Structure 1
């Protein structure tokens, strides 16, 4: 961008005056951030244009990654780092009396996602650009994202996430490329030249306006595009209620995951999903048609990847365009569709495999429903030929059954590739959850273990550790992360391990200062930082964690001979607004924290901190500071996890079940360098299929369990009355669906072991080193290379 620091300063001051209309002396921190952001975006524009031109002129394939979430985090420092400008800009701003770190703090996290699904999509975008691969993202430009979490008296309160309040410096509005998306209305048919034609009439139209964001690769000229669609009113009939129409239109891109407890929320969610895929696919087709004319070669030049079930309507929408607008015969259109679309499954949870009631789906998307019906009819006919007379089998596999449209089934039938996101997860899909489909389409199923971008989660988030690694093995690991394995040679190097420990302690001091600033709780950085940060869900078992904290508190109070190394338990999680049970667990964590943190007897031994409004920018401070990484989901329930990888890469040691990618992490780091406990996936599945688990037995026969469960309702927590009754009911009356009580003893035992080993710092440091050395495999660069070679067939 600039050949010298002086050149940068001159350009910065000139840009500031031009864009803000004020002198430097009158300018604010936000003015400085906005000016710098615009300078960076304008600088990458040349590479962005050249990248798009290169893709247009070339005949290679491009992939479009459709996702309901893209959890990007802050982009200023990330982009400066990728452009190799961070040092020059930092020094230039310092001369002007501006702290670059403070400018980064001014930037809002983009409110475009919630958890691992969205962060994975963001990591994939980074890797595609950094590996010079032609891949773009398509999502929704949510005005308020999910929500901003506030904790009031221990309860989660949701506030609108105002991330766009001051605009977004990285986006470019492309109004000339807007697309009208139809809803409601009816379908008229007429015969013309012996062919039946379909016309969607009397529809309510919403205009999708694209906002493009540059995705800057690391030390490369490649700049890919993330296209986010904003819902805006289209021209409407004069007799329509204008305010009502405007309100309903804009709600489509207002919030991520509207509460779908009632029909109104279900309709809005389904609207969002069709809005995303219709606008995206028609935009993709428009570009393809401009370049190639015909759509007959579409799969040779375009790959459409659907990230989980939310964008599955891409399949019938592509069919609609090919049949209705291109005039293709069904079989030809179906062949193109299946060859174009690939699908990633992210869950084994039944409730997460979306199903839409026909009574909502059919009137909202009349033509799309007709196409899904036709896909279903043809699929069921093929099943009848394979399983003649076996109505139950056909009913089980049908795309439409019991007045519901099953989105995962549509994805399985209408795509050429179906991948899980960890080896265990993929095997569960093949052998259990999707076995019926695996029997018919074994060639479709494959595994792509998730990864994270090591550039953000190590190089950016933990610069001290990154520098130590580069000092030890050179900086080639930044381009080839699997070469982190070369760190193994320092396993017996006392000086290097001591430096590793110093880096960890400094990161803990930084997080401790942040936590005290936010919560007022003073934290000892020499205590064990035991951290569980992730979406709040029953299967992730934050409940097991906090029950263990209650047990430790009880032991310390009752048994003077009981010793533990001082420990700080750190939680961060948002509960979905309509997820009543998850909110109860947040309240429980705060209730226990209130009691423990104000008990002078426990003051030097136990502390509990809940990090409000957990997000990417906060996560970048959390992962480098962790000693213990809590990955304690019920085995078989977590598809992969990516937080586990971020902790591992930053030298934290996993306390976890053999679930998701924990299995492969154990293989890479060595079983002796993780703390594995609890039921296996096979054991869990055996309980589900054959019964035999009775949670009440564990309650009656384990005094520790009985004590902590009773404390939830016996007045141990003053003024709580029946606040935690739903938790007790889930554990005892509803037979503890996620085996919290079954794994309690194993968890207590493994935590005791972890605490004991921590006091042997020489051994602990070696374990940390082995985790970092084994983490390179879990880079999203490896994952994306596998997608590119084995699914998308992309060339650099």
Structure 2
């Protein structure tokens, strides 16, 4: 035992000992009282011990070097499971597996006990998680800031074909990766009123009579690859300022005694409450201010410990707003600087703009957040005053760009003159920051030309592009270890840190032996995916079929409905055309994604897909060739099993509607071929892989713009016999027998409401492209695999490491702060010393 370093050693023996001690002393587990959940928690605590050891080293190094930190504010962090990612990044995968094996356990059995962290929903949150991984791997000091939701968005079940939302109680068994910080608590105010007091010749504003909620910090470590730098994801949990009213309890009013605690904790109870009602909207606004207020107070407290002057704040902190959710940071930072720190408005404004950056994630005007002025005024009266002042000063400058053009001034105003008036949060974010970036080349161009052309005239230097990326360590190294090993055997392992090196794989596309090994790995991935789905949702799929996959948030613009209509077209031809049936490549269509609880049409699309699946499954003539599965409760863990198995990646949004997409990148680096429109990052994927190695269909963004003025969905249906046949089948009620008119809202959106996302304009091209895809897969597997390998080799641009390096250089001016690995325990006893006695009676900060 003398040679073991139980808490921080990296040997098999050290990890086994730490696991055993945690199982006994942290879990009180013995022969009669232990579960796989206990064992998972003990293992997580053992791995966390090694993380904490280096986490402290990272913080100390960054403080000593006075490094500029990046603060990434995001309402979502879709982290997935932590265990495997952490042991891979620490370089402890083999040692951990061997340690467990020596005690009679299989690693996978324990790792599978971990729930997906319910901190995000779609691409926005997964992007944030990839960014945190890259920041730590690149050794750039950073904090992620968000909310510690007690419940995720929801756990999706499918009953009778319908989405049913169940609570996602991901914290039911605790979270061994987090550390509560009861010493880091900030009060957050809501409501009340503002009083102006005249002091020393100027107005001082006091926000009084407010409701107060406390925000308590919970920290999760973010381990960079190699284990040198460990950054922090700090999440805020809402706590009541006064948790228990003892006098009301004594009076017998037990409900009222705890009402304040229940109301306060609602703020961090659930991700994205249903905002179709006023109370839901109010809760979302309160959530956004809550996490922004706590985060800025935390950043500023850290800054003030340095004793530096306020004009150096932008060189201390680079604060990035991930979409408009954190855009209240503009008004809140101004409130802190002007009201609490006494800084003059112009100087405070200069600090605010220099410190803040804004990432836009949408090309859809209705997706840009707006809050009604009455609600904003009621919840945040001082911020409403500040927003009006910001807007007034900004419009005084803007008018010089657009003289005699009140219509254009109205477009750039932060206040929309509607009834009721609304606060445009995107406008606030653009005006209040020094950088506005899009997330793909096409998206960034359209931001300047279509979405915010007036702002581009006023602030041309602020608009820039940062094409999204994904971390190859999670989505290739961890999710597809067999393929990762094949790649490393061919080109070495430098691609793990520098994904541009993946281009070295291109020559192997011409190597028959390599192609065969790739094909075998894909087949095994399909078998694994089938096993996962059988266990996860009881579904049976055939791994010998072509896997065509569309997994993403359910939304009309993402056009899952177009995919479903194409499946109906295939079904029609399989029924009517014996020659088509005889040559058809057996195919499994896999769908996954959640619809917002209040989004009626999105939920109907799920029902539509499931009804089609039922019709096909019941048809003995068609079902051996064609199957459809909507995979319930899509999440990171599911994606890690399904993406490596995919042959086809469906990226089919209407050109000009998808900002970027990152699922397309995950599929690409795992050797799936993309069928997609020239939208979002598909444009850059086509450029990198070559148009010959990607299946592009449909109208371009420019063609869509020209077509909109005269577009008639009925005309497009009538001129294509197959499309017309599909619509007739839909109208006949064939797929909704005994459920009359349930799909009427979808039909109305396609015809009476004008087919906004132009499914019928692109459907003919989509059907033809699918025919080409299946023919190539069925008749020339050698060429298919060659294209797949070339796609992997061309995916280097789409690493989040590249994206983060561009942010760091162009927006944040942030540099790496190298941290040495600490493999000793020399300071453990010293760090445990009484800070008061060791500092002569003064507590160390």
TM superposition score category, shorter chain reference? over 0.9
Please say which of residues 17-26 and 527-536 is displaced more in the overlay.
Answer: 17-26
Q: Which of these residues, 21, 29, 33, is aligned with residue 40 of structure 2? A: 33
- Relative to structure 2, which stretch is displaced further, 394-403 or 497-506? 394-403
CA positional deviation for 1:60: 2.4
Match for residue 666 of structure 2?
Answer: 646
Instruction: Show the counterpart of 1:727.
Output: 746
1:769 aligned to 2:813? no
Paired residues of 1:13 and 1:24 also in contact (CA < 8 A) = no
Taking the aligned partners of 1:43 and 1:682, their CA distance within structure 2 comes to 54
1:449 matched residue in structure 2: 467
Q: Distance in 2 between matches of 1:3 and 1:737?
A: 57
Q: For 1:216-227, what aligned pairs fall within 5 Å after superposition?
A: 216-227=223-234
Match of 1:751 among 748, 763, 770: 770
1:484 aligns with 2:502: yes
Contact residue 713 and residue 721 of structure 1 kept, 8 A: no
The reply to whether residue 631 of structure 1 matches residue 676 of structure 2 is no
The one of 309, 318, 333 aligned to 2:348 = 333
What does residue 525 of structure 1 align with?
Answer: 543
Aligned to 1:234: 241
Q: Secondary structure at the match of 2:649?
A: strand
Deviation at 1:521, TM superposition (A): 4.3
**Counterpart in 2 of 1:386?**
401
Mapped contact 2:178–2:218 kept (Cα < 8 A): yes
Question: What is the aligned partner in structure 1 of residue 572 from structure 2?
Answer: 554
Change (3 A) 1:521 1:293: closer
Deviations 1:366-406 (A, max 9, x none): 00111001001111111223323321111111001221100
Instruction: Determine if contact 2:186/2:216 at 8 Å carries over to the other structure.
Output: yes
Displacement of 1:242 in angstroms is 4.5
CA distance in 1 between counterparts of 2:11 and 2:180 reads 32
Task: Please name the residue that 2:382 is paired with.
Answer: 367
Task: State the partner residue of 1:593.
Answer: 613
The answer to whether the Cα contact below 8 Å between 1:713 and 1:722 also exists between their aligned partners in 2 is no
Corresponding position: 1:204 with 2:211: yes
Question: Offset of 1:205 from its aligned partner?
Answer: 0.5
Q: Distance in 2 between matches of 1:207 and 1:580?
A: 36
Aligned to 1:377: 392
Output aligned runs, 1:234-273, within 5 Å.
234-235=241-242, 241-273=256-288
Match of 2:433 in 1: 415
Q: 1:709 and 2:727 equivalent?
A: yes
| Whole-Å separation in 2 of the counterparts to 1:525 and 1:411 | 48
- Report the equivalent of 1:316: 331
2:692 alignment counterpart: 672
Aligned to 1:662: 682
> In the alignment, which residue of structure 1 is the partner of 2:109?
102
User: Are 2:131 and 1:112 equivalent residues in the alignment?
Assistant: no
Counterpart of 1:304 in structure 2 is 319
Equivalent-residue separation in structure 1 for 2:17 and 2:412 (angstroms): 66
Report the Cα distance in structure 1 between the residues aligned to 2:648 and 2:187, rounded to whole angstroms.
50
Q: 1:133 to 1:490 in 2, by over 3 A?
A: same
Q: How has the CA–CA distance of structure 1 residues 335 and 519 changed in structure 2, closer, same or farther, with 3 Å as cutoff? A: closer
| Partner Cα separation in structure 1 for residue 11 and residue 406 of structure 2 | 74
* Residue 498 of structure 1: aligned partner: 516
The answer as to whether partners of 2:15 and 2:46 remain within 8 angstroms in 1 is no
Using the TM superposition, give the Cα deviation of residue 336 of structure 1 relative to its aligned residue in structure 2, in angstroms: 0.3
Query: Offset of 1:523 from its aligned partner?
Result: 2.2
Q: Which residue does the alignment assign to 1:52?
A: 59
Q: Is the 8 A contact 2:673 2:694 kept in 1?
A: yes
Give the structure 1 partner of residue 165 of structure 2: 158
Stretches of structure 1 lacking an aligned partner (at least 5 in a row):
none
Superposed displacement of residue 626, structure 1: 0.2
- Say if 1:713 and 1:725, in contact at 8 Å, map to a contact too: no
Alignment of 1:680-699 (within 5 A): 680-688=700-708, 691-699=709-717
- Cα distance in 2 for partners of 1:226, 1:419 equals 23
1:406 and 2:413 matched: no
1: CA distance between counterparts of 2:18 and 2:415? 60
User: In structure 2, what is the equivalent of residue 189 of structure 1?
Assistant: 196
**95-104 or 116-125, which deviates more:** 95-104
**Aligned partner of residue 634 in structure 1, secondary structure:** coil
- Residue 435 of structure 1 is matched in structure 2 by 453
The equivalent position to 2:182 in structure 1, one of 175, 178, 183, is 175
8 Å CA contact 1:56–1:291 kept in 2: the answer is no
- Please report how far the alpha carbon of residue 640 of structure 1 lies from its aligned counterpart in structure 2 after TM superposition: 0.4
Q: Report the counterpart of residue 131 of structure 1 in structure 2.
A: 138
Q: Distance in 2 between matches of 1:101 and 1:391?
A: 63
Q: CA deviation at 1:30?
A: 0.8
Pair 4,473 (structure 1): closer, same or farther in 2 beyond 3 Å? same
Partner Cα distance (2:373, 2:220) in 1: 36
Q: How many angstroms apart in 2 are the aligned matches of 1:748 and 1:471?
A: 39
CA drift of 1:236 comes to: 7.7
Q: 1:363 to 1:547 in 2, by over 3 A?
A: same
Determine the structure 1 residue equivalent to 2:843: none
Partners of 2:518 and 2:281 in 1: CA distance: 50
1:140 and 2:147 matched:
yes
Question: How far did residue 38 of structure 1 move?
Answer: 0.8
Contact in 1 for aligned 2:194/2:207 (Cα 8 Å) = yes
CA contact (8 A) 1:17 1:24 kept: no
**Residues 198, 521 of structure 1: alpha-carbon distance in 2 compared, 3 angstrom cutoff:** closer
Q: Normalization by structure 1: what TM-score?
A: 0.98
Q: Distance in 1 between matches of 2:243 and 2:639?
A: 44
For the residues of structure 2 that align with 1:46 and 1:61, how far apart are their CA atoms?
Answer: 23
Residues 580-589 or 295-304, more deviating = 295-304
- SS of alignment partner, residue 266 of structure 1: helix
Q: In structure 2, how many angstroms separate the alpha carbons of the residues matched to 1:435 and 1:391?
A: 15
Distance 2:11 2:694 in 1: 48
Are 2:490 and 1:472 equivalent residues in the alignment?
A: yes
> In structure 2, what is the equivalent of residue 83 of structure 1?
90
Q: Distance in 2 between matches of 1:757 and 1:257?
A: 43
Where does residue 99 of structure 2 map in the other structure? 92
- What is the RMSD computed on CA atoms of the aligned residues? 1.4
Question: Counterparts of 1:324 and 1:244 in 2: how far apart (Å)?
Answer: 32
| Structure 2: unaligned runs, 5 residues or longer | 1-7, 249-255, 817-845
CA–CA separation in structure 2 for the residues paired with 1:319 and 1:415:
12
Structure 1 Cα separation of the partners of residues 435 and 364 of structure 2 = 20
1:470 to partner: Cα distance = 0.6
Query: Which 4+ residue blocks in structure 1 deviate beyond 4 angstroms?
Result: 236-242, 518-521
In structure 2, what is the equivalent of residue 787 of structure 1?
Answer: 807
Q: Between Structure 1 and Structure 2, how many residues are aligned?
A: 794
Contact persistence 1:322–1:333 (CA under 8 A): yes
Q: Which residue number in structure 1 is paired with residue 838 of structure 2?
A: none
